[in-house]
Structure 1
């Protein structure tokens, strides 16, 4: 097998690192947005925020504000500002969904004239799942748009058994594909800068071959018509640098995943249209299910390395927001396409899986505080995107702080004696007095702006007849989803608060691949994971009951989910009966009528489930397997002059010292074994030393 068969000839694009502090802005003609849209949404959010802050001020200022009451008002103001803006954005999305035209991708007869690479960055992922998706995608494009698309599997896998399984999967994949959409494979020797570095390596080496690149995640699915429509829009709008679709969640099997999938399908389109409405040409990028103009990306989006150590320094973790901002800074339009369907992704099946993924996202978003502090020339709208991402994680510890301050106020009122002879000239004690009627008004007003976006989604779903004759079933489904999300929200608050604290203490999240397709965890594992959350719920409830039963009732929405965190997480992560009532009520259109991109990928998984399993010792002792493996290896080692790759050097030393192949393999770590597999010369030395004796012993 020739190297060209595995990877095409390199066609480099220079991708310089972009400075955050210095820039050369070159706006593209016609790329300005309508300012009134941003003003309307921001103004609406500010108006709602000011109104609720004023109501809360009236609640607390019956007899003047104590220090604790001022603290409560300050924290409430920050939290409600975040919620008020989100509500105003959802109102814009609701109105846009009702009155702005919708479109669906259709395969036009107009031929594409550009070349697009579909990139599949993977990291220790299921070969069965990913390669089946690649085959289904390439097959559909070979028929719908022959020779206009090519697929590139960009592996960053660091586990030897998975790496060798990928090589087996690639052989099968190439044999199964028709002409019209070639598929290539590259596995990096050194995983610099994680996913962003993986894409950077592709652009720097092969980017010149392609006008556009379309990024998939390991669990992404996109219809051929959508892929073609995205390429067509890029051709028609040369000033656009990136178009982001809004992927729907699909493939949920557990109660937790089904609830999230339902929420994404019913409320997601309204929220997505709202973001698109006000962001316009300064849209955002979510790292996948998006098409990018390759030359623009190379010229403008090379990521800098942040000064300092992780978690705030080092390589930028949540690279997508920054890349979108850099593209816009260079004058390119960055658009969100809420009107374009046919874009899907799988979500976490359990609350624990979501928390693990969320930990990495939390670090990436908090790292954006350093980006915001240093960046110059970034548009106001992109700064708003950054701020929304940061606040989405800071909101959890702020809400928990709000609860604790409110509890402190109640404890002060319940147990502390008034101070009659303070420095205050007044002869009356300083009691923290609250107007209960106004407090109830603030509670219901806050609840309304939290729940109305869900109502908007239900209305739009019914009007647009998202589930055909069963469209009315979205109403009981929304009620069930709301109950589930209300129970789960305190658990997420506790998990995100713990993540924020860990990050502020300097703990790096590392690079852990998402667990996909899980059928839940053992009860003991779930209990260990949520023990502190349960304890927090019990303590908060006990303290609230000591204050008064009424206060405990007010706290119940937050404490109930914490108290039952363990059974809630365990049972919500179990696979749901597809024919049961809950599954039917939480079903989406895609459950009744699975999209072809998804169903075709699933149907091809069986073909990859029985791949031959090899380990590194097989490569050493089997000449045919060794030759085939050598063709797959990427020979580029990104090392500086005089720099040594330590795992490879250690592997070489162990080859020289090991008595036999079994001793060598048992003594190699995964990193050392991968270095051996990635270096044909070292592998040949291992073969020369061990292949003969081991082959004879095995006969």
Structure 2
């Protein structure tokens, strides 16, 4: 067999994986230097944020925090404050501030949502889009049938609106599993057969997944993005209605100052209790929280990494990520890239907007506590890296608040744990340690260690009210929408689901607190998390694995229970929600991650969301398309079949990403080893068999090694099978 690489280069029979390249610079931004005069000027000077809204939320939060601090101080200040009491006061203030901001913003989100219910929605335009958008679907060892079925569903939805001319679809693979790579290629060819008549779909797999998802998207930007006006970034579990995609592009065209527009995705397709718990909370409480956030941050919004449209010019010129000093976990490539990119885009003078009024944006959630822990470990490391970003020069203070929110979302857990332990220490101190009444030699009157119990109870009620207010407001706002209310089970069904969610969340919360505390501890000890593929469906695990995963959580619960009982049964009763969650972590994790239990809860009508009864059309399109891709993935040719069949090999080579020039003397050890093993093989099967998974993945992406392997013969049995297949 002559050079297959040369043959495919001169042949016009095989469509390439990607369009012609349009190289562009995407310079890494400097976090230590920024000149205000370099910031672009707004085209529309009125496109600025309102100070009044900021003052309402921040001022309201400060007033609430000041009142709570004063009450907490008064609770303990009947006597002199001890060292433990001072620690409790500081921890309470920090944790209360964390929940107070969200609670105050939710009030304004509630008011805006209710007013929107009684208003008239803006009419949808059907004018043709004038500019081009690249739809980006990054993937990493995901199920190709799900990805390509979603793309087909979205592309057909866009086509039904007559707007396909404005969108090209790109699957940007960082897949490392060689079997999944071949399945992705088979799914791509199926997609081109099914929807290639009215849209364009492309595929590129990187040889090395440097900088993970952020590096994947950056590679596309530097090589192809300049051919497009906008980038609409998706995730492997994303799904968006065609009208939402088109409206995002239309808003970007209409607003020359918009650098990024982020939708608020709705969680769907949950099968386990854990997944259904998250999607119920997101669907019922989420709109109030998201709308409140959008209301006060205004033009200084945030980016959540997917289901958002970005102006290409803004992204290329201002969002190139720097590499942080030091080694992982705090240094190296920025893992949680989205918050940083939004902050850099805003720093450059572009607006970042949260489109809280746009529906039709969907994603999925982890199916179990264990899967949540795996994802949170990665997110925790990425967010704590932002400690090196938050002080970046020129960042808007609201952008810094987003970054701080991301950091606090994980630091809050160890702070809550410290608050619980400090309060326990305060109680045990009063019970077991003899107080020192006369601390000063010349003191006439004793210092009695006293706590105002009545005031403490009132403060506890205030804290619970602030904590639960977003949920209550979300439920009330949901009641105003009769269509969604009826689809979610009516008044009674929603109230029962609300109570079920509150109880289960209360049991899960202490486990998540310990999980996130453990993640923070590992990062402080400089343990890198790496990057693991996310499970999407079944969250079930064997009981042995659950015991191993949660053994320390159970022991922590038993220790807390012992300490509480050592003081009094009253203290044990106060701490019982946390104790129960920890002690029963194994069954709670197993039951909430079980598909069977999830189906039973769904049968009971609990945690129902409107999208389960009024299934969105885009999900129906995806369901209709998926069997074709499941079949294509199942029938994907093996590596031996591809190498031994000239037609299959030339088709594969047409999809292989070009190799970057190699500096003389710099040899990739994996490629060199794969080539050496292929050279020693006598047959194609033997050559493939010599290689491990990493070497096979390299082989698939390296035409020179594929060419060398293709020169080998098949064994007789395989050759007969190949001939029969061709016949």
Q: Which residue of 2 aligns with 1:541?
A: 561
- Structure 2 counterpart of 1:566, from 586, 589, 603: 586
Deviations 1:628-677 (A, max 9, x none): 21111101337556433221122122223445555543442322221111
Any idea what SS the aligned residue of 2:605 has?
A: helix
Tell me how far 1:58 sits from its aligned partner: 1.0
Tell me how far 1:239 sits from its aligned partner: 1.0
Q: Which residue of 1 aligns with 2:630?
A: 609
User: Structure 1: how far apart are the matches of 2:257 and 2:17?
Assistant: 33
The answer to whether the Cα contact below 8 Å between 1:141 and 1:180 also exists between their aligned partners in 2 is no
Q: Which residue of 1 aligns with 2:576?
A: 556
Deviations 1:316-371 (A, max 9, x none): 00101111111111111100001010101011111111111111111111111111
Q: Which residue of 2 aligns with 1:62?
A: 78
Any idea what SS the aligned residue of 1:243 has?
A: strand
User: Structure 2: how far apart are the matches of 1:62 and 1:659?
Assistant: 88
The answer to whether the Cα contact below 8 Å between 1:544 and 1:552 also exists between their aligned partners in 2 is yes
After superposing the two structures, state which structure 1 stretch, 465-474 or 536-545, moved more: 465-474
After superposing the two structures, state which structure 1 stretch, 487-496 or 595-604, moved more: 595-604
The answer to whether the Cα contact below 8 Å between 1:104 and 1:340 also exists between their aligned partners in 2 is no
- Structure 1 counterpart of 2:620, from 587, 599, 603: 599
- Structure 2 counterpart of 1:307, from 309, 313, 325: 325
User: Structure 2: how far apart are the matches of 1:475 and 1:37?
Assistant: 32
Q: In the alignment, is residue 482 of structure 1 matched against residue 502 of structure 2?
A: yes
- Structure 1 counterpart of 2:652, from 629, 654, 678: 629
RMSD of the alignment, in Å? 2.1
The answer to whether the Cα contact below 8 Å between 2:105 and 2:289 also exists between their aligned partners in 1 is yes
Tell me how far 1:91 sits from its aligned partner: 1.4
Tell me how far 1:259 sits from its aligned partner: 1.4
- Structure 2 counterpart of 1:20, from 24, 31, 35: 31
- Structure 1 counterpart of 2:286, from 268, 276, 283: 268
User: Structure 1: how far apart are the matches of 2:88 and 2:126?
Assistant: 61
Gap change, CA 1:542 and 1:196, over 3 Å in 2:
same
Any idea what SS the aligned residue of 1:244 has?
A: strand
User: Structure 1: how far apart are the matches of 2:526 and 2:441?
Assistant: 43
- Structure 1 counterpart of 2:698, from 675, 679, 685: 675
Gap change, CA 1:402 and 1:428, over 3 Å in 2:
farther
Aligned 1:148-187 pairs, distance under 5 A: 148-177=166-195, 179-187=197-205
The answer to whether the Cα contact below 8 Å between 1:621 and 1:695 also exists between their aligned partners in 2 is no
Deviations 1:195-232 (A, max 9, x none): 11111111111112211111111111100011111111
Deviations 1:363-421 (A, max 9, x none): 11111111113x11000000000011111110000000111111111221112233467
Any idea what SS the aligned residue of 1:393 has?
A: helix
Q: Which residue of 1 aligns with 2:482?
A: 465
Gap change, CA 1:344 and 1:117, over 3 Å in 2:
same
Q: Which residue of 1 aligns with 2:300?
A: 282
Tell me how far 1:609 sits from its aligned partner: 1.6
- For structure 1, the residue ranges without an aligned partner over 5 or more in a row are none
User: Structure 2: how far apart are the matches of 1:529 and 1:368?
Assistant: 28
The answer to whether the Cα contact below 8 Å between 2:171 and 2:203 also exists between their aligned partners in 1 is yes
User: Structure 1: how far apart are the matches of 2:122 and 2:539?
Assistant: 34
- After TM superposition, the score normalised by the length of structure 2 is 0.92
Any idea what SS the aligned residue of 2:375 has?
A: helix
Q: In the alignment, is residue 336 of structure 1 matched against residue 350 of structure 2?
A: no
Gap change, CA 1:676 and 1:492, over 3 Å in 2:
same
Deviations 1:38-93 (A, max 9, x none): 12111111111111111111111111111111111111111111111111111121
Q: Which residue of 2 aligns with 1:440?
A: 457
Deviations 1:557-609 (A, max 9, x none): 21111111111111111124657566523111101111111221122221122
Any idea what SS the aligned residue of 2:170 has?
A: strand
Q: Which residue of 2 aligns with 1:380?
A: 397
Q: In the alignment, is residue 396 of structure 1 matched against residue 413 of structure 2?
A: yes
The answer to whether the Cα contact below 8 Å between 2:541 and 2:590 also exists between their aligned partners in 1 is yes
Gap change, CA 1:105 and 1:221, over 3 Å in 2:
farther
Q: In the alignment, is residue 8 of structure 1 matched against residue 19 of structure 2?
A: yes
- For structure 2, the residue ranges without an aligned partner over 5 or more in a row are 1-11, 723-727
Any idea what SS the aligned residue of 1:233 has?
A: helix
User: Structure 1: how far apart are the matches of 2:668 and 2:343?
Assistant: 34
Q: Which residue of 2 aligns with 1:127?
A: 144
- Structure 2 counterpart of 1:510, from 518, 521, 530: 530
Aligned 1:52-201 pairs, distance under 5 A: 52-100=68-116, 107-144=124-161, 145-177=163-195, 179-201=197-219
Tell me how far 1:312 sits from its aligned partner: 0.9
- Structure 1 counterpart of 2:237, from 219, 222, 231: 219
Deviations 1:433-479 (A, max 9, x none): 32211111111110000111111001110112252545413222211
Gap change, CA 1:637 and 1:430, over 3 Å in 2:
farther
Any idea what SS the aligned residue of 1:605 has?
A: helix
Deviations 1:254-275 (A, max 9, x none): 1111111111011100001111
Deviations 1:608-629 (A, max 9, x none): 2223144433333333322221
Gap change, CA 1:57 and 1:617, over 3 Å in 2:
same
Any idea what SS the aligned residue of 2:304 has?
A: coil
Any idea what SS the aligned residue of 1:467 has?
A: helix
User: Structure 1: how far apart are the matches of 2:281 and 2:418?
Assistant: 27
User: Structure 1: how far apart are the matches of 2:142 and 2:121?
Assistant: 31
User: Structure 2: how far apart are the matches of 1:360 and 1:694?
Assistant: 47
Any idea what SS the aligned residue of 1:6 has?
A: coil
The answer to whether the Cα contact below 8 Å between 2:14 and 2:651 also exists between their aligned partners in 1 is no
